[in-house]
């Protein structure tokens, strides 16, 4: 895990002493990372937005608990993933389906440059397929997969973010990938989406 | 079917953490076992799909919304911190009274439902009454607490007075239910 950036630490110190502008800098720096995690976890833009706001508010209120030896990004992602896991568990308690379809255009806000209409359609379809696969997973498994693939975290980093052991993470990733691969085999439409994209990229 | 150890190695290879020697063993195994090769191919396809998944950008307004929510929350906390001591005490007392009054109500409702469960004729009636009571209590609490929240930043003393109304309202609801019950019995 990389050394904490000195400017990030400076913002943290200032935010701890009540400087809201410094905290705003932290928000600007990590809003995309936190939002992407929340969106991938929850699969719904409005809820992801709310979860992102909540994660930053919690971070501000608990800024004194942040260990400056650790990466701030890992810490804020840890808060966000735990919050999303809680939300998903509550959602399950409310008997709501995790398979609810994504709102139209939900997968179109990509970080790449403006795509052509065809590319946009393919990206949107791929985005929907990815969300469907993720939604097959239990919240803990989903968080591990997201941190592995979207943040390129190692087993150790994922374990630190999710506050568990390296072996637990290996096991979660193992099972999650098995389940998603099975799901891909079962859904033939996935190939129609994946293959043209892989060939074209 | 591939064994557990080979499955583990497949996954480790995808994550790039499998030692070279073990990776060679895995490839040899995959060459010899068609079913295992198919499974590995599916995992590889999934790995490719996930590795190329785009990052979703946060809406532009999100930082402004976060900072506005933060300011609002800090302002509210500051208001509570500056509350006069007697108002704070009144608040604590009203919260205790609300708890004192609602807890036995909830316990009594649960007790009634549990006992009525033995009599099929009674259960419907008890459930209807209990639910009506809960709905009235919750509605009253939501209304009054929203009012308290609204007044807190403007006039904390009024908020404390509103809070102290809660036990009176709850008692009123219980009296109403009691009168209704007696009326039904007389009929």
Same domain, yes or no: B101 and B150:
yes
Same domain, yes or no: B94 and B153:
yes
Residue with the bigger pLDDT between A93 and A25: it is A25
Chain A contact for B43, CB < 8 A? yes
Same domain, yes or no: B111 and B163:
yes
Facing residue for A49 by CB, picked from B45, B50, B62: B62
Residue B76 maps to a domain: no
> Is the C-alpha dihedral spanning A137, A36, B69, B71 positive or negative?
positive
- Chain A with chain B: Cβ pairs closer than 8 A: 116
Same domain, yes or no: B18 and B95:
no
DSSP state of A163: T
Same domain, yes or no: B101 and B179:
yes
Q: Long-range contacts of range A97-100, CB-CB < 8 Å, 24 or more positions apart?
A: A98/A43, A98/A135, A99/A132, A99/A135, A100/A43, A100/A44
Chain A contact for B7, CB < 8 A? yes
pLDDT of residue A169: 95
Residue-wise pLDDT for B51-99, tens only, equals: 988 889 999 899 999 999 999 888 877 766 666 777 777 777 777 777 7
Same domain, yes or no: B97 and B181:
yes
Same domain, yes or no: B98 and B147:
yes
Structural domain including B8 reads 4-51
Residue B66 maps to a domain: no
A27 vs B47: CB contact, 8 Å cut-off?
A: no
% of chain A surpassing 90 pLDDT: 62
% of chain B surpassing 70 pLDDT: 92
Instruction: State the helix-helix crossing angle for A72-93 and A45-61, rounded to 10 degrees.
Output: 130
A181 vs B56: CB contact, 8 Å cut-off?
A: no
What mean pLDDT comes out for the span A173-180? 94
Distance of CA A58 to the CA centre of its chain: 17
ipTM of the complex: 0.73
Chain A contact for B53, CB < 8 A? yes
Topology at the third CATH level for domain A6-200: Rna Polymerase Sigma Factor; Chain: A (1.10.1740)
Same domain, yes or no: B47 and B88:
no
B63 vs A28: CB contact, 8 Å cut-off?
A: yes
Give the count of domains, chain B: 2
Chain A contact for B115, CB < 8 A? no
Facing residue for B70 by CB, picked from A28, A60, A178: A60
β-bridge mates for residue A110, sequence order: B56
Which tokens go with B107?
């316990």
Residues of A within 8 A of B40 (CB-CB) are: none
Same domain, yes or no: B35 and B114:
no
A24 vs B63: CB contact, 8 Å cut-off?
A: yes
Residue B72 maps to a domain: no
Domain boundaries, chain A: 6-200
- Is residue A1 within 8 Å of residue B52, measured between CB atoms? no
Residue B71 maps to a domain: no
Same domain, yes or no: B31 and B89:
no
Residue B91 maps to a domain: yes
Residue B57 maps to a domain: no
pLDDT band at residue B117 under the 50/70/90 scheme: confident
Same domain, yes or no: B39 and B127:
no
């Amino acid at each position: 895990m990389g050394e904490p950036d000195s400017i990030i630490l400076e913002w943290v110190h200032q935010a701890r002493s009540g400087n809201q502008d410094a905290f705003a800098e932290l928000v600007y720096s990590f809003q995309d990372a936190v939002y992407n995690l929340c969106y991938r976890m929850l699969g719904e833009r409005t809820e992801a937005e709310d979860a992102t706001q909540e994660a930053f508010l919690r971070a501000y209120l608990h800024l004194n608990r942040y260990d400056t030896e650790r990466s701030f990004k890992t810490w804020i992602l840890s808060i966000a993933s735990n919050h999303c896991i809680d939300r998903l568990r509550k959602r399950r308690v409310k008997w709501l389906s995790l398979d609810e379809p994504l709102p139209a255009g939900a997968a179109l806000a990509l970080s790449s440059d403006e795509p052509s209409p065809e590319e946009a359609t393919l990206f949107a379809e791929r985005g929907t397929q990815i969300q469907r696969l993720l939604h097959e997973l239990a919240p803990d498994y989903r968080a591990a997969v997201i941190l592995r693939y979207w943040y390129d975290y190692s087993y150790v980093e994922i374990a630190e973010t999710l506050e568990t052991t390296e072996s637990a993470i290996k096991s979660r990733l193992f099972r999650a990938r098995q389940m998603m691969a099975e799901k891909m085999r079962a859904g033939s439409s996935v190939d129609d989406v994946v293959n043209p994209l892989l060939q074209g990229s | 079917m591939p064994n557990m150890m080979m499955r583990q190695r497949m996954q480790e290879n995808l994550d790039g953490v499998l030692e070279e020697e073990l990776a060679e063993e895995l490839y040899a195994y995959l060459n010899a076992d068609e079913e295992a090769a198919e499974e590995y191919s599916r995992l590889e396809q999934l790995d490719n799909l996930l590795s190329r998944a785009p990052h979703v950008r946060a809406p532009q307004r999100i930082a402004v919304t976060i900072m506005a929510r933060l300011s609002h929350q800090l302002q509210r906390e500051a208001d509570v911190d500056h509350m006069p001591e007697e108002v704070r005490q009144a608040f604590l007392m009203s919260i205790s009274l609300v708890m004192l009054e609602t807890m036995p109500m909830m316990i009594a409702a649960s007790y009634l439902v549990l006992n009525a469960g033995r009599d099929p004729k009674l259960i419907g009636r008890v459930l209807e009454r209990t639910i009506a009571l809960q709905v009235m209590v919750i509605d009253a609490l939501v209304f009054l607490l929203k009012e308290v929240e609204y007044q807190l930043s403007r006039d904390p003393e009024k908020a404390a007075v509103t809070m102290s109304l809660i036990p009176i309202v709850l008692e009123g609801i219980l009296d109403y239910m009691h009168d209704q019950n007696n009326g039904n019995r007389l009929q």
